[in-house]
Amino acid sequence: MRLDHVERGLENLQRDFPLQARISNEPELIQRTYTQILRFWIFRSNPPSAQHFPEAALRRLIALDAVVSSAEGLGAYPFSAKETSIRVAHGKHRPTFAMCAVDALAIPLFWKSLVRLESRCHACGVGIELDLGPCVDSPCAVDAPFVFMHFLNRQTRTEHPACSGLCTAIYFLCPDCARNLTDAVYTLQEAQCIGQMFFAFQTTLLQAFPERPENGS
């Protein structure tokens, strides 16, 4: 693993989408509501409804781009309420969709289990399927996919939420399509490491607000 490459990738991701910094600066009610939404996703693997959360807190989380509201329900990075090209499944969890490739690689950490990830190469469309565990020990087989991360300019970052901006430029590539790319391409292990470090603050919040989801929440 290229540790310097991983560090730069994480720094660039946090610059383009400072999710942790945004949430960390919010009062307890906002953080608690955010954690409740995350916990719903982790335990139930499907989007919660907006009606079960304080309206003012939810409006603030949407304004921060920490939560995404849609007709399907509430999405919360790394979990997407809308269907995407990246599907993540496990026997104990309902199949769900990830916002982007790096987000998908972080989901096993929250489910604490091996997951089945299904996607496709962004360039040629070839199918990608792999089993991935919560530890950063991704397979090193020759057919393991790579992750491309194209970071955005300042204007683009401010004009679009991450789910419709940055996330569209973070995707899987098959080995053949990734062969001649360098700086913006990460091995599966490197990308999983970036994803887990990016979302590590959510684990801290889940410990700080340990209540389990209530029925119907």
In a domain, 121, yes or no: yes
Mean pLDDT of 194-198: 96
Q: What is the pLDDT of residues 6-57, one digit of tens each?
A: 999 999 999 999 999 999 999 999 999 999 999 999 998 889 999 999 999 9
Q: What percent of the chain has pLDDT over 90?
A: 68
In a domain, 94, yes or no: yes
pLDDT at 213: 44
Across all residues in the chain, what is the average pLDDT?
A: 88
In 3D, which of 125, 123, 117, 121 has the Cα closest to residue 145?
121
If one counts the domains in the chain, the total is 1
Cα–Cα distance, 57 to 192 (Å, whole number): 31
Range(s) of the domain holding residue 180: 3-208
In a domain, 215, yes or no: no
In a domain, 22, yes or no: yes
Q: Is the Cα dihedral 157, 98, 81, 79 positive or negative?
A: negative
In a domain, 217, yes or no: no
Cis peptide bond prior to 78, omega within 30° of 0: yes
The residues near 130 (Cβ < 8 Å, ≥ 6 apart) are 116, 117, 139, 144, 145, 188
Mean pLDDT of 53-64: 96
Q: What is the CATH number of the domain that holds 40?
A: 3.30.450.410
The mean-pLDDT minimum among 20-34, 58-72, 84-98, 145-159 falls in 145-159
In a domain, 214, yes or no: no
Q: What is the pLDDT of residues 175-195, one digit of tens each?
A: 999 887 777 899 999 999 999
In a domain, 168, yes or no: yes
In a domain, 216, yes or no: no
